[in-house]
Amino acid sequence: MNETPKPQRCCDGREPSAGRHADLRIHGEASGPSGSAGTPKSARAGDDTARGAAGDRRGFLFGAGAALMGIGGLLAAIPIVGTLFAPARRGNPMRWTDLGPVDQFPAGTTRLATFTSPNAAPTDGETARDACWVRSLGDDRFQVFYVNCAHLGCPVRWFEQSRLFMCPCHGGVYYEDGSRASGPPPRGLFTHQWRVTNGRLEILAGLLPGLEEKT
């Protein structure tokens, strides 16, 4: 004969009712495996989701900031790199530059000649124009002087009557052969290298001279 199973009793010896079973289930859910009694699982899951979202935002902001700093660094480095490598890219800036036919400079005269700088950019406009003093010695022999005073670079003027070059800024004076006569210049006028090609006078131009120059 099959025995009828006896109803289970609670710890206080009473038979469990439907309401009592519900109380026990709620009590069991409240006591989680982590021991955080009193915190519902849904609330903990919400906290974890919020922490994850905050971490994602921090990571995004950090990455965006690093990217912006990198772009800013690259933009700031472009002119520096360009300045460092520009001389190598341009090579030798000195170029033979035409001053015109040699018969424009009669023997025994000193005349101002103008030319366009060989390193001029399209946007330089009139600032690309430069000048030099040409002293003709006859028989296609010349002396070509930079127009700048050897003191502080002011343009010097030629005075035919006295046959002197004079600087209007600080009173520097040079003889007709360009050698220093008086005043603050530490040396004579700087000179261009020159040559005659097919009846035209050319000079080597492109850089302003400095006191390290020997000619």
**8 A C-beta contact, residue 138 and residue 186:** no
Q: Characterize 189-199 residue by residue with b for buried, 16 or more Cβ atoms within 10 angstroms of its Cβ, and e for exposed.
A: bbbbebeeeee
Backbone angles phi, psi at 90, to 5 degrees: -75, -30
Triad 125, 126, 130: Cα angle to 5°: 125
Global pTM exceeds 0.75: no
Q: Which amino acid is at 19?
A: G
d(CA 9, CA 17): 10
pLDDT tens string 20-32? 554 545 444 444 4
Contacts of 43 (CB under 8 A, 6+ apart): none
d(CA 141, CA 160): 20
Whether pLDDT at 109 is above 70: yes
pLDDT tens string 163-208? 999 999 999 999 999 999 999 999 999 999 999 999 999 999 988 8
